[in-house]
């Protein structure tokens, strides 16, 4: 009996240990990057890591001064990531609702085909998209980046929102229709409020994907539309790497997404545990 009583306690300790290791593996590099962004050039490249140092804002000041001004890069990232995420959420919500409520043969195959387009390697779609964008004059433009981001955000949004709408009881929609609501009214006033966690989850994940993108921004971007990941890449040159500014840019890139995730963590956790598990 005593052995049986100790087993749950040991299992709990084991789970906590695994979680602690995972947190250390995830958070320590981020914390070290953030600390390094406040170090001087000598402290960053010191042979022995320094935990105690005199903090400085020099790296951030250099990012926003002279030719290295990071302001336009931040603005381009906000525009491209924000607009593409909003469009993916709107279109993905409507398409996901239609996919979940429509009765047709091979619906599961259609859903799989939609998400399979998201699984394609970026190298496969870059060349044809580049030719199309060049012909349409979308290279080095924010609209071009928005459309490029939609190519991988929209399939994900449709698939995820379809999973959320599938979880809404059909009886609720039928009751609204019986009461005299149109299909649109039933969707807007009954179904949509029940999928708030799905809306938040889809938007945040699309925003993170777009904000962190490097490959599409490198191919389709230019002087008038370069984003933060491209600015970080420009600090890596043949003459050396400015580690102080690089860690500062890394902190600027990571911090907004971490804050966004923390701000909506309740909705995000609910959405991931529901939509990802029940999606078919």
Question: What residues have CB less than 8 Å from 125, skipping those under 6 apart?
Answer: 151
236-237 and 240-241 beta bridge pairing:
antiparallel
**Per-residue pLDDT at 171:** 84
Domain ranges of the chain: 2-59, 69-278
The kind and range of the H/E element at 241 are strand 240-241
Calculate the average pLDDT of the chain: 83
Find the range with the poorest average confidence among 75-89, 95-109, 223-237, 238-252. 95-109
Burial (CB < 10 A; 0-12, 13-18, 19+), residue 73, is buried
Q: What is the DSSP string of 168-193?
A: S-HHHHHHHHHTT--HHHHIIIIIGG
* CA-closest candidate to residue 68, choices 260, 240, 220, 228: 228
**210: confidence class by pLDDT, cuts 50, 70, 90:** very high
Q: Tell me the average pLDDT across 171-198.
A: 84
**Per-residue pLDDT at 83:** 96
Question: What pLDDT, in 10s, does the model give residues 10-23?
Answer: 788 888 899 889 88
**Per-residue pLDDT at 144:** 93
Question: What pLDDT, in 10s, does the model give residues 217-261?
Answer: 999 988 889 899 988 888 877 677 888 888 899 999 998 888 887
Q: Kindly report the CATH class assigned to 69-278.
A: mainly alpha
Q: How far apart are CA 198 and CA 270, in angstroms?
A: 8
Q: How far apart are CA 218 and CA 206, in angstroms?
A: 19
């Amino acid at each position: 009996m005593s052995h049986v009583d100790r087993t749950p306690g040991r299992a709990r300790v084991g789970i906590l240990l695994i979680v602690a290791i995972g947190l250390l593996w995830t958070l320590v590099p981020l914390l070290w990057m953030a600390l390094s962004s406040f170090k001087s050039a000598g402290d960053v490249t010191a042979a022995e890591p320094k935990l105690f140092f005199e903090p400085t804002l020099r790296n951030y000041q250099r990012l926003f001064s002279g030719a290295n001004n990071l302001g336009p890069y931040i603005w381009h990232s906000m525009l491209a990531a924000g607009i593409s995420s909003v469009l993916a959420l709107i279109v993905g919500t409507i398409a996901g609702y239609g996919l979940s409520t429509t009765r047709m043969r091979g619906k599961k195959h259609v859903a799989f085909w939609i998400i399979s387009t998201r699984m394609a390697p970026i190298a496969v779609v870059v060349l044809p998209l580049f030719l199309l964008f060049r012909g349409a004059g979308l290279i080095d433009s924010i609209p071009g980046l928005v459309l490029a981001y939609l190519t991988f955000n929209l399939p994900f949004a449709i698939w995820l929102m379809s999973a959320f709408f599938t979880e809404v009881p059909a009886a609720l929609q039928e009751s609204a229709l019986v009461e005299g609501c149109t299909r649109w009214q039933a969707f807007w006033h009954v179904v949509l409020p029940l999928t708030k966690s799905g809306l938040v989850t889809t938007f945040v994940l699309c925003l993170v994907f777009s904000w962190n993108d490097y490959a599409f921004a490198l191919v389709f971007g230019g002087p008038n539309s370069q984003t933060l990941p491209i600015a970080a890449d420009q600090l890596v040159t043949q003459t050396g790497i400015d580690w102080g500014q690089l860690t500062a840019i890394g902190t600027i890139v990571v911090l907004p997404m971490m804050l966004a995730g923390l701000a909506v963590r309740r909705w995000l956790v609910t959405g991931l545990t529901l939509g990802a598990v029940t999606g078919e």
